[in-house]
Each structure stands twice: as C-alpha cells, then as structure tokens.
Amino acid sequence: MAGLYLHIPFCKQSCHYCNFHFSTSQNNRDEVLTAINKEINQKALGFNDKISTIYFGGGTPTILTEKELNTIIENILKKFDVEKNIEITVEANPDDLTKSKLSALSNSVVNRISIGVQSFIDKELKSMNRAHDSKKAIKSIEMARKYFENISIDILYGLPESSLESCNYNLDFIQKFDLNHISAYALTIEPKTALQTFLKKSIIEMPDEQLVYDQFKLINERLTNRGFINYEVCSFAKKDFFSQNNSAYWLRKKYIGIGPSAHSFDGNFRSWNISNNKKYIDHINQGLSYFKKEKLTRIDHYNEYIMTGLRTIWGISTEYIESNFNVNFKNYFLEKIQKHIVQKNVEIRDNVYLTTNSGRFLADGIASDLFLVNLK
C-alpha cells in the first residue's frame, strides 16, 4: 500500500510562520494544474502498489474550484489502483468553507477534511496573518459537521504572548465540537519567514521552552481525558479516526508526491520536486527532470526508524533493529537509550521502547541523541 500527496501551491495571502512552497499569484494556475495532471500520468506508469490514501495539501487546496479538484481526483482514480475504502483528505482554510463548497466536497469522493483553524483567538490569528477570524473558524466547523464525519482541525501553540490561559481558551472551543481528530503543532521559527524577521527585529518575543512544554502537557491531558489517543507527537485522534495519511508517513510507507515542492519516498529513495511553479511547468512540459533524488543508506533508514518510532505510539523494537540492520545497531541503541529510561522520558512495554507523556515532547531531541553517523 502507498499514499499519494498532492501539493496545491496557491494561497490568498502569506501566513507569517509558513515556509511551505506557495504563491499568492495565480497567474499560471491553469498551467500548474495541467502539469500536475501530467505528473500524475507519469508517476502512475509502472507503479503497481495500491493507493490507500490521497491527501491534498498546500498551499490551499480549497482555493480550487469543484471542477478543478474533481478533474485531478478523476485522473488519479483512472490511472492508479486504489483501495476500496481509500481515505481522501482535503486541507481547507475556514474562509474558503462556504455551504456550497462543503456541499460540493461532500458530493465528491472526498471523505475527510482538515481545517486550518490554528486558533480561536482573534489577536493570535491576526498576529499570524491568517485570512479568517474566530467567528469564521467556528462557523466553518459547525458547517463542516453537517457534511462530514471525519473532520480534523489544526491548532498552534507556543505563540508569541500566548499563555496557559489562552491555550485553555482554545481547548474549551475544541471541546464544544464533536471532532475526531486534532493536530496540535508547536509554533517554530522557520527560515525566510516574516516571523523570523519579526524575531530578529525584536518585534515579537517567543515564549520560553517551559511554557511551551506546559501548553503541550495541557493539550495532551485535556484531549486524552476526552478519549483522544496521542498517536504521534502532534496528532490526537479518537479510535478508528487516525489519519491514514499521517500514519503511513510515520510508519515509513511508500508515498508519491505530486506538484511543485512535493516529496516522494519509494522505500529506498527520497525525491523532491522543484519548488518553483514556472520551472515546474516548464520542466514537465519539456520532458526535463523536475525533481532531485537521493538513495537512503542503511544508517539513514536506521535514523529515520528511530525518529518516527519515538514520535509515535508504535515505538522502537530492538528485534526489528537487529533483523533489519544488525546486532551492532541494536547494541548501539541499547547503550544510548539507557539515560533516557533513567530520566523517565522512555519506557519499555512488551519489548518496545516508547516515549512517556513527558518524553514525547522531547522526542526529536532524544532521537538526535540516538542517531548514528557511522556503524558497521
């Protein structure tokens, strides 16, 4: 089984924290969509794995018309072999979700929607340069619930001037809706973003690490008390509502990326498309290479297994390490993991090493301590 990710590289405006590839100009929109369909045709040739999940991200996929979106989906269903119960997700901004848009999405084969709410506090939304306000966020969820059962929303924490009170306020709103999936991300300062510029000029001040950790703990406690499972550091879901797209990524399944800047993984190679709309169009149309590619080494595979295992409820198996790498890799892991067990950031259950509630927030740091550079 494999996943399919489609990057729709258009947005109405630029959010201050975002470093994903996008364009606020839609002058070449038709050409980009034509190129995306051409790439679908190319990537489908000789690909025999069944597609179990399709995910439209961006950018802003809901900027597309019903016809544009359905043309892409129909092409995928025609060219690829897909699972009968395939999950098809479309990311959406609250300001795009009108009644007619939701009705059109629900009447298509789309069966899951992920809404980029980020916050229910107007001051926070304005500071991030989001296109919607809290009223639109609330209305978009209320309307979406009439058309979809499988709804996820994104929330950011660790924002400038945020507090435990503001975090609680957002959680209060989340609990008013009967949602099945929440993605909660700590705000990070990405290079070449407006947020990075504001920080350098001392226009904003980021909260200290302890407050961000306390917000994570609060989110974890309140959501798990409501029946959510924290199946990955940033992902909370009720039983049977884990994102199939997210799960496939964290379990290192194959996935195909389509569109400018999209990434792919075939089990041995990673590749990434050109992050430039015009160059992407030209290279597709002229039959030129539009992506770069690298082969993963055995050490790369090990390091990725460590990172994804620590971030998820599936953890790390020493049996898997020994059988897929060798005993030296296992011994290295066992030596390095001990201090994190002593610090109670990692625990062992049924011979699987898992981050504890406190350790999950530190998963990336723990993983970097377990990474290796050279081992035979």
Q: Residue 326 corresponds to which tokens in the numbers above?
A: 């060798």
Shared domain for 43 and 148, answered yes or no, is: yes
Give tens-digit pLDDT for 250-284: 999 999 999 999 999 999 999 999 999 999 999 99
Structure confidence at residue 376 (pLDDT): 55
Alpha helices, DSSP H only, in the chain? 29-44, 66-79, 99-106, 122-127, 134-144, 164-176, 194-200, 209-225, 244-250, 277-285, 298-311, 318-324, 327-342, 357-360, 363-370
pLDDT at 348 over 80: yes
Shared domain for 237 and 340, answered yes or no, is: no
Q: Strands of 229-232's sheet, edge to edge?
A: 229-232, 235-237, 181-186, 151-157, 112-118, 82-92, 51-58, 2-8, 254-258, 263-265, 269-273, 291-295
Q: Is there a domain that residue 80 lies in?
A: yes
Q: Is there a domain that residue 121 lies in?
A: yes
Decide which of 374 and 94 is more confident: 94
pLDDT at 133 over 60: yes
pLDDT at 345 over 80: yes
Q: Is there a domain that residue 363 lies in?
A: yes
Dihedral of CA atoms 344, 366, 295, 76 in degrees, nearest 10, equals 70
Domain range enclosing 344: 298-370
Shared domain for 184 and 332, answered yes or no, is: no
Q: With bands split at pLDDT 50, 70 and 90, how would you rate the model's confidence at 374?
A: confident
Shared domain for 74 and 132, answered yes or no, is: yes
Nearest-angstrom CA–CA distance, 213 and 186: 9
Shared domain for 234 and 336, answered yes or no, is: no
Shared domain for 232 and 110, answered yes or no, is: yes
Give tens-digit pLDDT for 217-239: 999 999 999 999 999 999 999 99
> What is the percentage of the chain residues whose pLDDT exceeds 70?
99
How many domains would you assign to the chain?
A: 2
CATH number, domain with residue 102:
3.80.30.20
Shared domain for 66 and 196, answered yes or no, is: yes
Give tens-digit pLDDT for 30-65: 999 999 999 999 999 989 999 999 999 999 999 999
Q: Is there a domain that residue 19 lies in?
A: yes
Structure confidence at residue 194 (pLDDT): 93
The residue whose two tokens read 């959510």 is: 228
Structure confidence at residue 178 (pLDDT): 86
Shared domain for 230 and 152, answered yes or no, is: yes
Nearest-angstrom CA–CA distance, 22 and 20: 6
Last residue of a domain, one of 250, 266, 282: 250
Last residue of a domain, one of 250, 282, 314: 250
Q: Is there a domain that residue 281 lies in?
A: no
Shared domain for 56 and 143, answered yes or no, is: yes
pLDDT at 241 over 90: yes
Quick one: 114 exposed, middle or buried, by C-beta within 10 A (0-12, 13-18, 19+)? Answer: buried
**Residues 279, 32: contact at Cβ < 8 Å?**
no
Structure confidence at residue 88 (pLDDT): 98
CATH number, domain with residue 360:
1.10.10.920
Q: With bands split at pLDDT 50, 70 and 90, how would you rate the model's confidence at 108?
A: very high
Q: With bands split at pLDDT 50, 70 and 90, how would you rate the model's confidence at 309?
A: very high
Last residue of a domain, one of 192, 227, 250: 250
The size of the chain, in residues, is 376
For range 115-120, the mean pLDDT: 98
Q: Is there a domain that residue 286 lies in?
A: no
Shared domain for 48 and 117, answered yes or no, is: yes
pLDDT at 168 over 90: yes
Provide the CA 374 distance to its chain's centre, in angstroms: 30
Mean residue pLDDT across the chain = 96
**Residues 21, 60: contact at Cβ < 8 Å?**
no
Shared domain for 167 and 91, answered yes or no, is: yes
> Which H helix or E strand runs over 86?
strand 82-92
Structure confidence at residue 373 (pLDDT): 81
Q: Is there a domain that residue 270 lies in?
A: no
Q: What is the DSSP string of 171-213?
A: HHHHHHS--SEEEEEE----TTSHHHHHHHTTS--PPPHHHHH
Shared domain for 212 and 359, answered yes or no, is: no
According to DSSP, the residues that pair with 58 across neighbouring strands are 8
Q: Is there a domain that residue 268 lies in?
A: no
pLDDT at 295 over 80: yes
